[in-house]
Structure 1
Amino acid sequence: MTNCRHRRGVFLLLQLFELPRFIACSVLAITCVMLPAKANWLNEIRHNVSGAEKAPSLEPLSPAELTGYPADYTYERVIAPSHQVPVFVVQAGLKHRDTVVLVHGLGDLASKGWLTVIPRLAQQYHVVAIDLPGFGLSQGAVFTYSPQQYAKVIDWLIAKYRHDGQVKLVGHSMGAAISVYYASQYPGRIQQLVLVDAAGILDRTAYIKRISTRDNDQADLPQSVRRVLARVDNFADKMLEKTGTGFDPTRIFSGDSSLRNMTIGEQTNVNAALALMEQNFSVLNYQTVPPTHIIWGGQDNVAPLRTAYALQHVLPLSQLQVINQAGHVPMKSHPHEFNQLLLASLNATILPRQARPKNNSERIGRCFQDNHSHFSGQYQQIILNDCKLVRFDNVDVKHLAMADSILTISASRIGTANQTMQITRSAINATDTEILGQMQSERSRFDFAGVSFYGESPVFVSQASTRLVLSLTRIITPTQSTRLGGSYVLAEQSLESAL
């Protein structure tokens, strides 16, 4: 059963992408049962499915297929030359000069998911929406439905349908992941990017941990109870992190189209979900991405809000707006508020984030057994000892010392140049955070999303048994800049030596 170490995490991801339970079970059963078989089984599958893919067909669109679409829009099914596959394209607002391209997420609606949005956009923009290959009224094809491959389709779409003005790209969920990948790999093609509840951006271990974590920061629970719950969740996180460095059988689907066709067939949601899980968004060059507006549902259980803050950290020009009561599909649950935010975003200018003021504080913060669990503002030093419920929100501290503690950090700056911080038998979850100087770890665990290390190499040193889960993380030294993501286990070594 060692080949199934990721089965729980994969199943959770497939379920969260709203895939039928029997499909999730089938994929997991195949990966767990078939992998130990003889080496020639892949060749047999390739032989059995060769030539099974459909030939491209440009059959006319029927009235039944267009049910639900407004009659005054323009529709066509054309061959996308990047993969020689027929795709469905809808246009509105043809008289306008600037073009807005809409990219949908997983699910059966495809471009229909934008029908509450297109009418408002078409009053000011030329709107182009597509059914990605394998979705909606577009035909499937034999390729991995990955952001990399879909970005080729988007590039063709923009080149063919854009008008003479600016091009603005809007993506939702998987479509947002595709859009940010496209913007980073095809610089200069678009002038503005809007990401709506982008899925699949965080490292998969960080994602699974986040969706399985309870809210222990409740005032109506006694502190002793919350400390116990925090210990329980910390143990569960530790178990999940251990699976993050094991063999993942789902990767074989992304690497072999014959196996994918044989096992997944036309289940394009599974195909696309697995490919999305496989993409490492941490290594993209976000410096080439144009000004980006991020719109998020505050109650999103599919793409956690933490993702938005991590993206905001790495995107040089970005602005986040949250619809507090919305879930993963805000254009459906809160159409009026969403449309207002989207139109305002498309017409707004994004200013760079303001630099933090100089920290001249002499304040010392201390926590022992959670007698002070929330910190904000500037500090000279913070010392944590046996604290399980600590939170840093917008903290600027020159020196941090931790022992036997659990800390959650957001929007903060930790450390100072040429100084060393010691973390012992502790756990840190940090988002949208800068770490200066050197951090030393002994038997500790770290989950970083949207975190930048600044200093002289090495910036992170493990003295004994350290685990890291990294998403959209950067190491910036005077001589180089490194983008990294994934799960790491360190013994007595620096993080740089493990890359």
Structure 2
Amino acid sequence: MVGFMAGFAWAALAAGGVQAQEADADAGPPGTSGQLIEEPVFMGEAYVYQAGVGNPRSIVLIHGIGDDGARDFSEIIPWLARDFHVLTFDLPGFGRSSKANVLYSPANYAAFVKYVADKYARRPFILLGHSMGGVAALRYTASYPADVERLVVVDAPGVLHRLSFTSQFLAHLGMDFLPPALNLQEKFTNLVRKLLWRAERSPLDPEAVLASAQLRQTVLGADPAKIAGLALVVENLSKALPRIGADTLIIWGRDDRQAPLRTGRLLARTIPRARLVVLDKTGHVPMLESPQPFRAALAPFLRREAPPPAKPEGDRIAAGKHGDVLCERKRKAVFEGEYATLIIKSCDGALIRNARVRALRIYSSTVTIEDSEIGGGEIGLHAHSATVVMTGGAISGKVAINVLGSRLDLAGVRVTATEAAVRAQRTSSVVFSVSRIESPRTRGVVHGYYAVTPRTPL
């Protein structure tokens, strides 16, 4: 089990920030002045860097996993310093700062940023976090809302539950887990999920490893990157995200294989005043891979131009009424608009988006659902031997979801039922990420894995 947990953490590391590289011990980001400070959160020393000190507004930059630390922002600091007081740092555990066997979690990093910002930043400030730093920025903004004028989140991993099919954690176990529209390799997929679900119920769970100095040493080798990576994927932001009141810009590389675009879409739907900008031909580090498009996306937001208001759910429904439709033995079929009944049989890679479907029936198929409303009658979604990934939208009904031997991955989905949110006629699995259930048996925010049996409906 120890060996498995070590692999668990290494997988999380790979999803973090810029790949770890050997740091130049004498160099901070170009154009900055550096200062070594003692900090009370991790009880160590940290390097703090500033530029544009005479400018009246501050922008605070939080980097991701990797020993380049604050140098991840080298391409944008001189540009930002023309108009802003730029404050950044090597997070404890990375770059030139102290490294130790301590809990490098997003919450603790938020406390560290609070200490540094209180000393050097002009509040309220703009907060920008990349990768793991994006998760720390989300936690900071939810914890200290008065400090943050505007929030920028760039390609942040995590957020989705770690057992999500599209979790970057699963991807870096050796296979890129993408939505079922890309046709999962079933045997390998089943094996990985069984291992992960067994680990989820094991006495040696990730939280226990993180909480124990001895286990961090034994399982993770006391490596700050592994500790931070594992802490990242177990961070639960489901209650924090809706509390973020700051105008928020989310920037994502369309080709990011470490933090799936699905996560950016979930953040944009969950944070009340957020909008998403997707950069084409860009991976996990947009400010280095596509510096000009990155600046073009960021500049209007820094000028205090407000994000457009989010559209109500109903406004996302595409035009067109289709009545009753059957899809049988087709690949990559796409469904938009309104349907009375939509039956999908043996159709791999089906995509339902911007749709309203009163009764959705899925048999032996892999289906992705985006920004759609399902249900309104007796049973909203019926899934039999199916794999379903849904992001955004809602499912409703007397029984919202009825499953037989199926696997569901729901992120940012509202499930409303008068009798049962999820009922299983044969044991099925459901992973919820930052979702909400309203039913006689379950109420409130849900973020976790559930094995649903005929005796244990939700």
Whole-angstrom distance in 2 between the partners of 1:169 and 1:459: 38
1:377 is matched with which residue: 330, 333, 337?
337
Alignment pair present for 1:109 and 2:68 = yes
2:79 corresponds to 1:159: no
Note if contact 1:213-1:233 (Cα within 8 Å) is conserved in structure 2.
Answer: no
Distance 2:193 2:177 in 1: 17
Matches within 5 A, 1:44-443: 65-67=25-27, 69-70=29-30, 73-164=32-123, 166-206=124-164, 207=167, 208-209=169-170, 212-213=175-176, 230=183, 233-247=185-199, 249=204, 251=206, 252-261=208-217, 264=220, 267-347=223-303, 348-355=305-312, 356-357=314-315, 361=321, 363-370=323-330, 373-416=333-376, 419-437=379-397, 438-443=400-405
CA contact (8 A) 1:364 1:380 kept: yes
What TM-score, normalized to structure 1? Answer: 0.79
1:127-186 CA deviation, whole Å, 9 max, x = no partner?
Answer: 11011111112113442001111111111122222225x311100000001111222233
Q: In structure 2, do the counterparts of structure 1 residues 417 and 191 end up closer, same or farther at CA, with 3 Å as the change threshold?
A: farther
Query: In the superposition, relative to structure 1, how do residues 7 and 377 fare at CA in structure 2: closer, same or farther (>3 Å)?
Result: farther
Pairwise CA distance, 1:110: 0.4
SS of equivalent residue, structure 2 residue 225:
helix
Change (3 A) 1:329 1:195: same
315-324 or 374-383, which deviates more: 374-383
Does the alignment pair 1:453 with 2:415? yes
Equivalenced residues, count: 439
* Aligned-partner Cα distance in 1 for 2:414–2:252: 23
**Change over 3 Å in CA distance of 1:454–1:388 after alignment to 2:** same
* 1:117 partner amino acid: I
- Structure 1 residue identity aligned to 2:365: S
Aligned letter for 1:233? Q
Cα RMSD after superposing both structures: 3.0
Instruction: Look up the SS of the partner of 1:199 in the other structure.
Output: coil
In 2, the alpha carbon distance for the partners of 1:213 and 1:267 equals 25
Paired AA for residue 238 in structure 2:
S
State how far apart, in whole Å, the 2-side matches of 1:152 and 1:417 are.
Answer: 48
Indicate conservation of the 8 Å contact 2:56/2:85, yes or no: yes
In structure 1, what is the Cα distance between the partners aligned to 2:236 and 2:192? Answer: 19
- Tell me, yes or no, if structure 1 residue 463 matches structure 2 residue 420: no
The residue aligned with 1:24 is: none
1:318 and 1:362 map into 2 onto residues whose CA distance is: 33
How far did residue 478 of structure 1 move? 9.9
List gaps (5 residues or longer) in structure 1: 21-63, 218-225
Normalization by structure 2: what TM-score?
0.86
Q: Residues of 2 paired with 1:282 and 1:118: CA distance? A: 32
Cα–Cα, structure 1 residues 113 and 4, in superposed 2: closer, same or farther, change >3 Å?
A: closer
Shift of 1:387: 1.9
Looking at structure 1, the residues matched to 213 and 238 of structure 2 have their Cα atoms a distance apart, in angstroms, of 25
Q: 1:495 to 1:146 in 2, by over 3 A?
A: farther
SS at match of 1:116: coil
1:473 to 394, 415, 435: 435
* 1:73-94 CA-partner distances (Å, limit 9, x unpaired): 3321112233332211111122
Change over 3 Å in CA distance of 1:383–1:389 after alignment to 2: same
Q: Distance in 2 between matches of 1:70 and 1:10?
A: 32
Aligned 8 A contact 1:283 1:485 in 2: no
Higher Rg:
1
Q: Is the 8 A contact 1:245 1:488 kept in 2?
A: no
Q: Give the letter for the 1:278 counterpart.
A: V
Alpha-carbon shift at residue 67 of structure 1 (Å): 3.0
Task: Please state whether the residue corresponding to 1:337 is helix, strand or coil.
Answer: helix
Question: Partner letter of residue 236 of structure 1?
Answer: F
Distance 1:241 1:488, change over 3 A: farther
State which drifts further: 177-186 or 359-368.
359-368
Task: Work out the CA distance in 2 between the residues paired with 1:479 and 1:124.
Answer: 53
Structure 2, unmatched stretches of 5+, are none
How many percent identity over aligned positions?
27
- The Cα of 1:7 is off from its aligned counterpart by 6.7
Match of 1:482 in 2: 444
Secondary structure of the residue aligned to 1:178 is helix
3-state SS of paired residue (2:110):
helix
Would the aligned equivalents of 2:28 and 2:70 in 1 still touch at CA under 8 Å? no
Equivalent-residue separation in structure 2 for 1:350 and 1:175 (angstroms): 22
- Contact 1:5–1:246 at 8 Å: present in 2 too? no
Structure 2 contact 12–226 (Cα < 8 Å) conserved: no
Which stretch of the first structure deviates more once superposed, 274-283 or 443-452?
Answer: 274-283
